[in-house]
């Protein structure tokens, strides 16, 4: 939790630390609580997914609100008190339900050292009597005050809200809340951090032994005995470097989404933690290239004086309208199960923009068109949703029509549009990553998603439809198409089996990757995008160096027109091989970046390995069948 200047709660490197190295051993929590929605699917102690069938010998089934354990060991280390059970049953609808249980458990496990050297932030969180957030905290504190006095209950709850982190599973879902001791909780926030963290929901792998030394220490302050009362249970956390860190340099992580512009980050941090971030990125004047890009909008035919003398008011209004429109489109998909309408609304916005209606004397005076920069944070959200929605539409079609007919071709068209948006999202965020290297974890996820989407496209059963046309479309053989121009495959295998990623390799590997994917993308991009007007405005989804030049005007002038259908055109073995090669490159590079952020035995690197292993199995199966 970021501290005020002079308080000294910060952690600095004991020694020089290279990129992609563990900074801490696996750290067990001081207190933790599983979210109510996961009580029936995950272990109440370690948060690991429950094995099926459940074993009633060490699971509680005596009350309506069941909680379960994955093993006898977890059932003995995570004993539920009567007070905690009461909160579990009576306050599960409270906004801070998990925080209440974590705060109560913290009080019960730290009777003699209740603060454990952590900041409570009570004076800020409870400052305003009429503040809704403060009122919710006071209401929650009353629920746990039966086990202690009101002051201690308020302090414990504030401590959890200030220092607690959301424990995420391998799919990025928030499973619960956990509070860790000073050697993690004293690591401050930055919007350009040099470290990240990840969780172990089961015993850590051999690559991350508990004997790993702590490579950070506080400045001028000795850690208190709060570290000594941790029990070796619950979800463990490991901090890892994502940049080179010099001895004595402060170690930082992020508490917010780094792909948000400054104003949104500041608002979120103040709402949750009551501090204003003054990191280098937030303090930059003018704003950094990334922050400028994430919030840039344009207005075709806009006369500033005709709209407002205050451009900030105009910008805020435009962003609110655009945000509401995108949120409504996403709602159509996620809540109402209508991915087709979602795609239509989002692509209309991206292509045409929104009209800004200015009223004067009860009449509309002008209607300038508000458009987003293609790397605006709302566009990135739209690309993410569109990639998913098109994928779902393709999957639905394949599920409904298993016979070889025109529906398979339509499913293939939807799949390639999904792959195109995934590739655009990866390329766009990679462009931002070149200016802000702390985006590495996000970029790793997007490259892996793009690779998976491209390989899914190359494996689509719809390709078999072209056998009718005597086109030689077979399963692409992975081993015969490993790129000879870069060392991605060799480096990824070396990381998996021999060593961690090295800082010295990073620039060379990234350069090789970009050279290869740029060449391959030029061969397949026109095949991926014929069904989408917006995507056709992009000549290259990887190279965004043209932004800010005269070429950018072409995106502002995109207008919907009849989309050509490339039925039968380009559906060749060569196209399929190029898609396959591009997918493999994206997977390998995403896996390489993930190994830097999370280690070579992380879930993401294992996911990449499993996908590629599966491809080799498909090859063997096809050869055996031949």
Tens digit of pLDDT for each residue in 240-266? 999 999 999 999 999 999 999 999 999
Compute the mean pLDDT over every residue in the chain, rounded to the nearest whole number.
80
Read off the pLDDT band of 206 (50, 70, 90): low
What average pLDDT score do residues 544-560 get? 55
Lowest mean pLDDT among 59-73, 221-235, 415-429, 466-480: 466-480
The token pair at 362 is 């009860």
Helix %, strand %, coil % of the chain (to 5): 50, 10, 40
DSSP 8-state secondary structure symbol assigned to residue 200:
E
Lowest mean pLDDT among 61-75, 282-296, 477-491: 477-491
Q: Which residue has the higher pLDDT, 616 or 573?
A: 573
Report the distance separating Cα 617 and Cα 626, nearest Å. Answer: 14
DSSP letter string over 250-311?
A: BPEE-SS-TTS-HHHHHHHHHHHH------HHHH-SSPPHHHHHHT-EEEET--HHHH-S-H
> CB of 404 within 8 A of CB of 464?
yes
SS3 for 60? Answer: strand
Report the distance separating Cα 426 and Cα 408, nearest Å. Answer: 27
The top-scoring range by mean pLDDT among 1-10, 83-92, 391-400, 493-502 is 391-400
Q: Is the pLDDT of residue 556 over 60?
A: no
CA distance between the termini of the chain: 60
Q: What is the pLDDT of residue 461?
A: 75
Q: Is the pLDDT of residue 369 over 80?
A: no
Q: What is the pLDDT of residue 121?
A: 87
Q: Is the pLDDT of residue 175 over 50?
A: yes
Lowest mean pLDDT among 67-71, 131-135, 432-436: 131-135
- CA-based Rg of the chain, rounded to a whole angstrom? 26
Phi, psi angle pair for 273, to nearest 5°: -115, -10
Report the distance separating Cα 130 and Cα 245, nearest Å. Answer: 43
Phi, psi angle pair for 196, to nearest 5°: -135, 180
Report the distance separating Cα 589 and Cα 571, nearest Å. Answer: 27
Q: Tell me which H or E stretch contains 11.
A: strand 11-13
Read off the pLDDT band of 64 (50, 70, 90): very low
Q: Is the pLDDT of residue 224 over 60?
A: no
Phi, psi angle pair for 400, to nearest 5°: -80, -35
Q: Is the pLDDT of residue 626 over 60?
A: no
Sequence-ordered list of residues with C-beta below 8 angstroms from that of 56, at least 6 positions apart, any chain: none
Q: How many helices (H) and strands (E) does the chain have?
A: 22, 14
The token pair at 18 is 């290279």
Q: Where on the phi/psi map is residue 502: left (φ > 0), alpha (ψ -120 to 50), or beta?
A: beta
440-456 burial, b at 16+ Cβ within 10 Å, e below that, comes to bbbbbbbbbbbbbbbbb
Q: What is the pLDDT of residue 616?
A: 62
pLDDT digits (tens, 9 = 90+) for 313-368: 667 777 888 889 999 999 889 888 899 999 999 999 999 887 765 434 445 455 56
The token pair at 529 is 């995008």
Lowest mean pLDDT among 381-395, 466-480, 552-566: 552-566
Q: 133-138: which pairs have CB atoms within 8 A and are 24 or more residues apart?
A: 133/271, 136/95, 136/96, 137/96, 137/161
The top-scoring range by mean pLDDT among 289-298, 367-376, 520-529 is 520-529
User: Which residues does residue 176 pair with via DSSP β-bridges, in sequence order?
Assistant: 34, 167
Single pTM value for the model: 0.87
pLDDT digits (tens, 9 = 90+) for 580-618: 999 999 999 999 999 999 987 788 888 888 888 776 644
């Amino acid at each position: 939790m970021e501290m005020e200047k002079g308080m000294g709660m910060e952690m600095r490197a004991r020694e020089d630390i290279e990129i992609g190295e563990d900074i801490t051993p696996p750290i067990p929590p001081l207190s933790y609580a599983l979210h109510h929605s996961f009580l029936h699917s995950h272990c109440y102690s370690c948060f690991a997914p429950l094995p099926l069938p459940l074993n009633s010998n060490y699971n509680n089934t005596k009350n309506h609100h069941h909680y379960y354990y994955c093993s006898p060991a977890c059932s003995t280390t995570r004993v539920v008190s009567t007070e905690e059970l009461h909160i579990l049953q009576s306050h599960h609808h409270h906004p801070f339900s998990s925080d209440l249980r974590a705060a109560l458990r913290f009080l019960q496990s730290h009777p003699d050292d209740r603060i454990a050297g952590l900041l409570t932030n009570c004076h800020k969180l409870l400052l305003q009597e009429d503040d809704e957030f403060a009122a919710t905290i006071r209401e929650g504190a009353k629920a746990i005050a039966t086990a202690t006095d009101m002051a201690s209950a308020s302090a414990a709850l504030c401590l959890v809200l200030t220092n607690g982190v959301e424990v995420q599973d391998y799919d990025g879902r928030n499973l619960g809340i956990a509070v860790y001791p000073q050697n993690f909780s004293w690591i401050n926030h930055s919007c350009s951090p040099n470290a990240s963290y990840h969780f172990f929901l089961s015993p850590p792998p051999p690559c991350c032994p508990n004997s790993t030394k702590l490579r950070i220490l506080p400045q001028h302050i000795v850690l208190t005995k709060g570290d000594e009362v941790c029990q070796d249970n619950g979800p463990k956390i490991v901090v890892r470097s994502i940049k080179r860190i010099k001895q004595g340099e402060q170690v930082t992580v992020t508490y917010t989404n780094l792909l948000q512009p400054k104003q949104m980050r500041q608002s979120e941090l103040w709402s949750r933690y009551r501090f204003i971030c003054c990191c280098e990125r937030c303090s930059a004047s003018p704003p950094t290239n990334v922050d400028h890009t994430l919030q840039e909008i344009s207005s075709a035919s806009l006369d500033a004086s005709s709209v407002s003398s205050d451009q900030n008011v105009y910008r805020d209004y435009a962003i609110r309208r655009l945000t509401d429109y995108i949120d409504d489109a996403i709602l159509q998909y996620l809540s109402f199960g209508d991915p087709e309408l979602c795609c239509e609304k989002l692509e209309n916005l991206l292509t045409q923009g929104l009209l800004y209606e200015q009223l004067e004397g009860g009449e509309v005076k002008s209607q300038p068109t508000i458009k987003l920069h293609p790397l605006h944070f709302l566009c990135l959200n739209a690309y993410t949703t569109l990639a998913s929605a098109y994928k779902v539409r393709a999957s639905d079609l394949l599920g409904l029509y298993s016979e070889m007919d025109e529906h398979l071709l339509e499913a293939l068209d939807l799949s390639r549009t999904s792959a195109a948006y995934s590739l655009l999202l990866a390329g766009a965020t990679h462009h931002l990553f070149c200016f802000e290297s702390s985006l590495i974890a996000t970029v790793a996820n997007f490259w892996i998603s793009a690779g998976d989407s491209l390989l899914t496209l190359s494996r689509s059963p719809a390709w078999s439809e072209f056998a009718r046309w005597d086109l030689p479309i077979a399963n692409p053989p992975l081993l015969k198409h490993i790129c000879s121009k870069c060392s991605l495959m060799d480096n990824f295998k070396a990381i998996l089996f021999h060593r961690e990623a090295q800082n010295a390799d990073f620039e060379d590997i990234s350069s090789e990757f970009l050279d290869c994917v740029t060449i391959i993308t030029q061969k397949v991009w026109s095949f991926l995008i014929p069904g989408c007007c917006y995507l056709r405005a992009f000549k290259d989804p990887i190279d965004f160096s043209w932004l800010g030049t005269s070429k950018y005007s072409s995106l502002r002038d995109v207008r919907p027109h009849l989309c050509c259908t490339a039925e039968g055109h380009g559906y060749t073995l060569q196209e399929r091989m190029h898609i396959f090669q591009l997918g493999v490159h994206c997977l390998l590079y995403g896996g390489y970046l993930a190994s830097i952020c999370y280690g070579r035995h992380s879930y993401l690197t294992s996911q990449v390995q499993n996908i590629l292993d599966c491809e080799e199995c498909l090859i063997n199966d096809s050869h055996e069948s031949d």
